[in-house]
Amino acid sequence: MIYIVSVLELQNPGDQVELLAYFDDRLHIVTIELEGLESVETDFKLRQGDISKKVRGRR
């Protein structure tokens, strides 16, 4: 799911993808839908190659 969400091109609210996922010994219908964009409080470290920086605040 993390990978799929990383590469999906959902751009507008309401854009969605439906797929089947197998876990807990059964198939599930999973709907991934973009409801909209909102900012959240963040606190993480971003590393790109040898560069590392702290990212904190509302994004």
Partner 1 sequence: MCLLVMTVYFPITHPASANGATEPDIEELSLQPEDVGWSQLELGASRLGLSVSVDISLQHLQDATASHNLAASDQGKPVSAHRGDVMLMVFHAVSLGKELETSLWFDGRNAAALQRIRHVKPVAMNVLKSTVTPIVDCLQSGRNRVLMRSASR
Q: Does 55 bind partner 1 (CB under 8 A)?
A: no
Task: List, in order, residues 6 or more apart from 13 with CB less than 8 Å away.
Answer: 34, 35, 36
In this structure, are residues 15 and 8 in contact, taking their beta carbons and an 8 Å threshold? no
Q: Does 14 bind partner 1 (CB under 8 A)?
A: yes
CB of 48 to partner 1, least distance (A): 10
Instruction: Give CA–CA dist 43/53, Å, rounded.
Output: 11
Q: Which of 19, 42, 55, 56 binds partner 1 (CB under 8 A)?
A: 19
Contacts with partner 1, residue ranges (CB under 8 A): 1-4, 6-8, 12-23, 27, 29, 45, 47
